[in-house]
Structure 1
Amino acid sequence: MIEEELRGAFARHEEQAPALEPLRRAIDTLAARRRRRRTATRTGAAAVVVALALALPVQLWRGELTLPAQLGGTGTPVAAPQGPLNLLLLGLDRRGTMTDSRADTIMLVHLPADGSEAYLVSIERDITTDIPGVGKNKINSSYFYGGAEGARQAVERLTGVRADAVAEVEFSALRSVTDTLGGLPVCLPRLVTSQHTGKAYPAGCQDYSGAQVEDLVRQRRGMAHGAYERDRISQRVLLGLAKKAGDLAVLRDIGKVNQLVRTPGITLHTGDLSLLGLAMRLDRVEAGDIVGISQPTFDSVNSGGQVYERLDPEVAPNLFAALRDDTMGGFVVQHPSWVLQE
């Protein structure tokens, strides 16, 4: 009798039970997040969470800005900006006398309003878009035609997401910053063989020098997913930067800060944002709570003899809506294939 009553009770409530697969993904995501928080290192006083490649700690005290009190300064406290923030990171591959500069790495760094995480959202360089006065072209050429402001406008038109600040980072600057920190830990899921130097970078986690990091972030040819793979390598390098900067407590080391301030090849455009306030927002995030997001597969089209990439017509609109609505946590649960695997 009791068994029959139990079966009847389960049957009556069966429709109220959530779908199993989304629930399982949500539990897995929460468990991974808690593991990261148990092992994460705070990135330190003001800003290294999106790591030094975002240019914040390098530019933070350039010019007439005053050092914050925790670094020995006596400046007046600055309020952190409220609400979600989106920072546009442009990685520039300038070598020799090269003047045909394009943004080979395009990444939106989303900081949720609650400050709990940071999301590195890569936009593949060959995505097709309309550039005013030029017409249909790859989005990386928006920098060539309009500089940082042209790239910002192109990304905003494509995504509908406002970029609150823009950082231009030359790959050579990444090399200098890496060497200043004494190398970076970078974890690769598979072997990467450089098409430029022939050097083989094995799968697994290793410490790399500045020259090796600069070489790594240039790789796309010969890899299964081309420039998509380079985007994910860039995300892994940023994760390594955040971890190393946190381990060293970089911004509590005045000598190290002075070295970083002199790094050439980094320019930050903040508009109306306070640099110190932005740094305070970044300081809320732990290195283990930085999540990489990128389109997992090719979607190529040949137009006029030129091969372009297209955004996933179903998932990409959901991604951009999540950025605008500050609901990236839900996007991660629903689309695990777009999440960088540790």
Structure 2
Amino acid sequence: MSRAPVDPSPASTDPSSRRHGRAGARGTRRALAVLGALVLLLAAGSLGAAWWFQHRLDSNIERLGDPFAAIEDGPVREDVAAETEAVNLLVLGSDSRISAGDPSQWKAGAQRTDAIMLVHLPADRESAQVISVPRDSWVSVPGHGQAKINAAFSYGGPSLLIQTVQDLTGVPVDHFLVTDFDSFTAMTDALGGVRIRVPEDIGDGDQVFFSEGVHTMTGEEALAYTRQRHGLVNGDLGRVQRQQNWMRAILAKVNNHRNDVGTMTSFLTTVSRSVAADDGFTVDRMRELFLSARGLSTHDVTFLTAPSSGTGRSADGQSIVVLDRERFDPLMKAVARDRAAAYVDEHADDLDILPATVR
């Protein structure tokens, strides 16, 4: 099938950052969004979204053109018999979103990528899986040999990153979105802050930044929480989980305030001003996805980190993340075949699933 038009808690200096082919109990309240990508579905489904409001939101989104046009081949979609098809969104957290649609402005190292997430919405629309790929994962980048995966965005923008991810995973990418973590601070503040549980004091040894307990964090506080490097038992992989925890907290806050017209109007406006997307990911397309996935609960969204065997050194001395292909490849094969929910249920003990409380 072709690509359509398209427990919530109360950097390296390297230039690091192909078009195609239920986990957890269901909550009693419905979520209308997943991450910066699926959260945009609210734009079409929430507040009764009048035409003028949808148009305003759509006009706020920075457009990337068609990054798939430059990709000649890609994975073949296998779920063609389904009444609705699975949708895969590649979501990028960059340090610079503005002018992301002009590949000529990209220079090696000029735009770093702090987060790469593959969001899978199955054809049955009963779950969603969000898989973070560590930015330092050592992979093959077409035309550039072995490199950190976030180098693909720096080298060639959305098209090269999409191709790199598709080649690595065998998963067809349908839509591409870029945001930045400064934008996530604005989204957080538009919601009046988010609740994040800190299981133990967080600090650098001399100063405590966050004491043990539940905090209602502002955007700046949440950003500081996710950017801490020192004292994390698993380093950058710990940062990935904190990023996911922040996003989960945003989801929970949106879910709890989805009927608050004032808050949601402010939030949706902020979101629409904070992302860049491929031309095919219009508000009409988001509305279509929202209507098909409106039964999702926050507990139906599973956050994972791509399986790895830890860190290492490349031949040229770079610090890298080594993907565990014996665990990574079967997971991605399940995503490509739209069997991710069942696979995660069956292999939960072997996967890096976001826990209810993050250190």
TMscore range, shorter length: 0.7 to 0.9
Map residues 232-271 of structure 1 onto 2, 5 A cutoff: 232-249=241-258, 253=261, 256-258=264-266, 260-262=268-270, 264-269=273-278, 271=280
Q: 1:58 to 1:174 in 2, by over 3 A?
A: farther
Q: Is 2:41–2:287's contact at 8 Å kept on the other side of the alignment?
A: no
Q: CA deviation at 1:202?
A: 4.1
Paired letter, 1:33: G
Distance in 2 (alpha carbons) for counterparts of 1:285 and 1:309: 33
Q: Does 1:312 align with 2:324?
A: yes
Identity score, percent: 25
Decide whether aligned partners of structure 1 residues 321 and 205 sit closer, same or farther in structure 2, where only a CA change above 3 A counts: farther
Identify if the C-alpha distance between structure 1 residues 240 and 324 changes in structure 2 by more than 3 Å, giving closer, same or farther: same
**Correspondences of 1:1-342 after superposition (within 5 Å):** 33-34=24-25, 37-38=26-27, 40-43=28-31, 47=32, 49-51=33-35, 53-54=36-37, 56-57=39-40, 60=43, 70-73=48-51, 82-94=84-96, 100-193=110-203, 200-249=209-258, 253=261, 256-258=264-266, 260-262=268-270, 264-269=273-278, 271=280, 274-294=285-305, 295=307, 298-332=310-344, 333-336=346-349, 337-342=351-356
Between the aligned partners of 2:322 and 2:308, the Cα distance in structure 1 is 12
Partners of 1:338 and 1:212 in 2: CA distance: 25
The C-alpha deviation readout for 1:85-130, integer Å capped at 9, x for no partner, is 11111111349xx972121101111111111111111111111122
Q: Larger Rg: 1 or 2?
A: 1
- Cα distance in 1 for partners of 2:193, 2:40 equals 17
Asked if structure 2 preserves the Cα contact closer than 8 Å seen for 1:228 and 1:296, the reply is no
Moved more, 128-137 or 272-281: 272-281
Query: CA 1:260 to 1:310, structure 2 compared with 1: closer, same or farther past 3 Å?
Result: same
* 2-structure distance, mates of 1:210, 1:149: 30
Displacement after TM superposition at 1:224 (Å) = 1.6
Say whether the 8 Å CA contact 2:137–2:323 is kept in structure 1. Answer: yes
Count of paired positions: 291
Q: CA deviation at 1:220?
A: 3.5
SS in 2 for 1:271: coil
Taking a change above 3 Å as real, the CA distance of residues 318 and 41 of structure 1, as seen in their structure-2 partners, is same
1:142 & 1:68 partners in 2: Cα distance? Answer: 35
Q: 8 Å contact 1:94–1:171 — kept in the other structure?
A: no
AA aligned opposite 2:88: N
CA deviations over 1:198-242 (Å, ceiling 9, x no partner): 652345543211111122232344412112111111111121111
